[in-house]
Amino acid sequence: MTEERGRRGHDDLVPPSVAAARPAHGRHDSGRAYPPGTDSQDTSAVGAELAATQALLRAQSADEVGAIVSTLVHDLGGALVVARYADPAMTVPVDVSLGLSEPVLPFADPVSVAAMRLGAILPDFLEAARLVISRLQAQQRRDEEATHDHLTGVLTRRAWMRRLSRAVPGDSVCLIDLDHFKAANDTHGHAAGDAALRAFGALLLHTLGADGVCGRYGGDEFVALAPRQDAARLAATCDRMRHQWEVERPRTAALIGLTIGVAEVDERGGRAALQRADAAMYDGKTHGRDRTVLVDDDAEGVTT
């Protein structure tokens, strides 16, 4: 089997994260993960490794790191093949997938200069690539923690308010209060209270998460923004969720109901709609709790 035949035979088997940069050997095109070294004629192993290392230091995602590794393999004279389809006699036994896909091996004639370069350079480079991916993933976790409530999985208040600032007329908002949450928390303990918050967060995301933007407004209050959805439709969805909560809530949350205020965004903006939803929610609490209250802007009042 020749190296070129191996390339053709396995081109469709390499996962996208590792195959993002696969130009014909010796040719620079838009398929590369990074440009070649400053001397485009420098095809030495040192030049290839230096260019890849510089690209690695600028990487912004794990997939980009995978593409950099792919480009380096090709610059060193190799090709890529999914390990389960590989001929052991024609591959370098170094998995370059970085855990981003199933194992992938460099393909090269075992007695070629390419195989020697790949075996000498890739192990250390892959270790550096793994460290970069670990750093990027840690940063991603920190970013998510800054925007998502760790207990319920919905957006934090600050992140949700940023999204609300982009709301437009025709969107709708709701504000949800967990009735009697404090009493249940005091009776059954904080662990039971946390379980109730997690359960409701999951229900909210299941009900509105696909089309809406859900957040924790504070304590036992939650919010949601439903883009391109009128208030009446959102109120009907919230009412179904309220009844579903009665079925799905934890046993220790049996006393916890939902009072929900719903309002539609108009030319006054998202914050004004949230204020009206807040007023509607408190109106519901003063009239018995455990209900959905829709702001009737035409009547300048609320309907239950």
**What are the structural domains, with CATH classification, of the chain?**
3-146 (no CATH), 157-303 (3.30.70.270)
* pLDDT of res. 156: 94
Measured distance CA(69)–CA(86) in Å, rounded? 18
* pLDDT of res. 170: 95
Q: What percent of the chain has pLDDT over 70?
A: 85
Residue 223 tokens, joined: 């919010």
Residue 243 pLDDT > 70: yes
Q: In 3-state terms, what secondary structure has residue 106?
A: strand
* Mean pLDDT calculated for residue range 218-226: 97
* pLDDT of res. 221: 98
Residue 10 tokens, joined: 């396995």
168-198, pLDDT tens digit by residue?
Answer: 999 999 999 999 999 999 999 999 999 999 9
For the entire predicted model, the pTM comes to: 0.57
Who has greater pLDDT, 38 or 20?
Answer: 38
Distances (CA, A) of 96 to 25, 111, 114, 212: 18, 20, 15, 39
* pLDDT of res. 32: 84
* pLDDT of res. 43: 56
Q: Which of 27-31, 79-83, 215-219, 263-267 has the lowest mean pLDDT?
A: 27-31
* Mean pLDDT calculated for residue range 144-154: 87
Residue 131 tokens, joined: 């460290």
* pLDDT of res. 210: 78
Helices (H), the chain: 3-10, 45-58, 62-75, 113-147, 157-164, 181-188, 190-208, 231-248, 270-286
Distances (CA, A) of 218 to 86, 176, 208, 225: 55, 11, 18, 16
